[in-house]
Each structure stands twice: as C-alpha cells, then as structure tokens.
Amino acid sequence: MAVFNMLENVEDLYEIGEVLGSGHFGQVREVRERATGARWAGKFLKIRKCASSRLGMERKNVEREVEVLQALQHPNIMALKDVFESRAEVVLVLELISGGELFDFIAEKENLTESDAIDFMKQILLGVGFMHNKQIGHFDLKPENIMLSDKMAPNPDIKIIDFGLAHCLQSGEEYRCMSGTPQYISPEVINYEPLSTAVDILSGLSPFQGDTDEETLRNIIALNYKFDDHHFSMTSAMAKDFIQKLFVKDQNERMTAEECLHHPWIKPLTRKQVANRNRSSINMKTFKKFNAKRKWKMSYNMVWMCNRLHRLKLLCKTSAQAGEELRPCESDQEDTETKPASLIRRRLSNSS
C-alpha cells in the first residue's frame, strides 16, 4: 500500500483558497504554498471508510491515480507535486491550470483555421502519445479534461487533466472497464471488450450524439456518423481523412497517437497540403452550438446527481429507521456535511 504524507497537515503547509471545480469525489481548490507563495491546485478526495459504503473513493483507486501521475511528467500533462493523507481524505497537490477548458477558449473565437486547431491537436497528441508509450491509457478523454495553462499566452499550452480512470496496462493482462462518459466512449468500452490505449484515440469526439444516451451508445457501436455538407463544407479533405482513420471499430486498425502525429493533416508533406490546411476553417457556428449543448448537459447531470443523492440519503434514513442491516460508516456521516453533488461518481449516465 502506498504511503502518503500523513505526518504533516496540508493546511500547515498550504493556505486553502477558492474552489476551482468539483468532481465526483470532492473539490479542487486553489492552494498557496506558505513557504514560497507559489500557487497550486489541491484535489481533495473523500476516501471510502468501509466496503459497504457507496460514498467516497476507494483508497486503491486514489493510489492508482497517484501512481499514474507520478509516472507522467510531460509538458502537456498536469503535474503532481505532493500527496497528503488524513483520516477521511487524500489531497493531491497539483500544478495549477488557470486557462480554463480548451473548448470554452475556442468557443469565444469568431473564427479558427484548421492550422490553429492543429496546433492544439498536436499538443494533445504529444501528451497522449507520451502516456501510451508508457502503456498508460487515460480512458476518460473528453473536452472537460483538456485545459489550457494560461489562455492569455500567445500560444497557450494544453494540459491533460483527471487521471481518475487512467490505468497502466500490464502485458498479458486483459483489462475491461465499463466507465466513461456516453458521448465520448469507444465501442469496445460499451461492448465490455478487453481495452488497449486505442480507447483514447476514439474517445473525446462526439459526432455520435443522439437524443438519448441509449441512442448515442447505439450510434457509437455502429460508428454511425456522416460528413454532411451543412457542417463540413469548410473542412479540408485531409481533415476528413484524419477523422475517418480515427473512427475505426477495430482497435488494432485505429491510428495510434504516434501515427496521428505523422498524418499529413498534422504534418503536411507538400506546399499544396499546407495551403489546403490554411484555407480551411472550423465551422464556428456548429462548434459554439455543440459547446453550449455540452455545458447544458453538464449542468443537467449535476442536478440529476444531486437529486439522486438526495433520494439515496432518504432511502438510507428510512432503511436505518426500519432497523435494516445498513451499517452507517464514518464517511457517510461526514458526507452529510459536504456538498452532495461532489459525492457520487457518475460515469455512465442514463439521462440526456
């Protein structure tokens, strides 16, 4: 079992600041190192106190997230500085990423050429390629997890975050996992097949969005998508070719991150290819619409999660009153004082 810093209290070394974001198991807050004044992000994770509890994160999953982050030191991957542990929570001290989500940054623009988009894409591929070379899959790549270090910089740096589902694949191991976010998961996850790092190549993209999550999942399994003129009239043939080579059902046939970096759309070989890229642009009207829908869905999910937790707590109360064998545990008790939305991990949703 990994041992984190239990001797010192995070608050003795860091001043805890404002909330930057919330995840399923806790909050991310800005923290200031008392000794140097440097700013970091603290990810406060509630730990499950007993096996029967549904609240909090299993300690072994926190250990896995920490091990993965320790193995990944790359300019396009969020860095881990320190880990603290107390009775009820683990705190990861992380590189502070203050530029917000890449998609929000792009959605504010009036226009974006394919060349601009490729600059970002390259950085994502470099980060993803680095982890895949270490046999680590992220398994939850989606717009929310692609952030910018500083959006005011002339060429902002991409930072990949949230390694809560990441897994280091051992040779000979068959790894299956039914987690992800409906719009962004790949067919092999839905089909509960053995997974490889290729999952990350087909995730994070969402032309498969249906009216319900079930329809979205059906579209992904069938790889049901089309380049309709309405949305893709300004897209270069090279970009479409690139996308087609990602939307491949067989994991072994799908382009790897390394191969993506050598595709002529990312790395043009001729002047004509460069010119084509510069002439083509992203359809901003469609992009803004997609981003607004994504944000709306995130808020909807948050409300759905709050309601579910509320019902769960009422159920626990009623069962306990009826004398059923629902053993309360410490983290359940403590959690009643915390924000409900941060407590349940909801990966595969069933609402849209």
Binding site for ATP: what residues are annotated?
Answer: 43
Considering the complex, state which of residue 184 and residue 290 has its C-beta at the smaller distance from ligand ATP. 184
Answer yes or no whether residue 80 interacts with ligand ATP by CB under 6 A. no
> Does 92 interact with ligand ATP (rule: CB under 6 A)?
no
Chain residue whose CB lies nearest ligand ATP: 23
- Token code pair at residue 160: 């990949």
Smallest distance, ligand ATP to C-beta of residue 291, A: 15
Minimum Å gap between C-beta 271 and ligand ATP is 40
Q: How many CA atoms lie within 13 A of 22 on its CB side?
A: 16
Q: Which residues of 119-143 are buried (b: 16+ CB within 10 A; e: fewer)?
A: ebbbbbbbbbbbbbeeebbbbbbbb
Residues with Cβ < 8 Å from 2, sequence gap 6 or more?
Answer: 63, 66, 67
Instruction: Tell me the β-bridge partners of 346.
Output: none
d(CA 132, CA 137): 6
Q: Residues in contact with ligand ATP, total (CB under 6 A)?
A: 18
Residue 260: name the closest of 274, 248, 243 by CA: 243
CA distances from 138 to 158, 161, 167, 186, 347 (A): 15, 9, 7, 13, 14
Q: Measured from the CB of residue 175, what is the shortest distance to ligand ATP in angstroms?
A: 18
To the nearest whole angstrom, how small is the minimum distance from the Cβ of residue 17 to ligand ATP?
Answer: 11
Counts of helices then strands in the chain (DSSP H, E): 13, 9
Among 41, 68, 205, 239, binds ligand ATP (CB under 6 A): 41
**Residue 184 interacts with ligand ATP (CB under 6 A): yes or no:** no
Residues numbered 49-78 forming contacts with ligand ATP, rule: CB under 6 A: 78
Q: Is 83 in the site for ligand ATP (CB under 6 A)?
A: no
Contact mark string toward ligand ATP, 219..258, x via CB under 6 A = ----------------------------------------
* Per CB under 6 A, 96 contacts ligand ATP: yes
d(CA 160, CA 224): 28
How many beta carbons lie within 10 A of that of residue 233, not counting itself? Answer: 10
Helix, strand and coil in the chain, % to nearest 5: 40, 15, 45
Q: Which is nearer to ligand ATP, 106 or 161 (CB)?
A: 161
Stretch that binds ligand ATP, among 18-26, 237-245, 254-262, 298-306 (CB under 6 A): 18-26
With binding defined as CB under 6 A, does residue 81 bind ligand ATP?
Answer: no
Q: Is 157 a catalytic residue?
A: no
Our finding on whether 17 is near ligand ATP (CB under 6 A) is: no
Q: How far is CA 243 from CA 9, 26, 201, 240, 254, in A?
A: 48, 35, 10, 5, 10
* Beta bridge pairs of residue 26: 45
Contact call for residue 137 and ligand ATP (CB under 6 A) = no
Q: Which is nearer to ligand ATP, 145 or 256 (CB)?
A: 145
Q: Which residue out of 12, 82, 140, 213 is catalytically annotated?
A: 140
Catalytic residues: 140
By CB under 6 A, name the binding residues for ligand ATP: 20-25, 28, 41, 43, 78, 94-97, 144, 161-162, 164
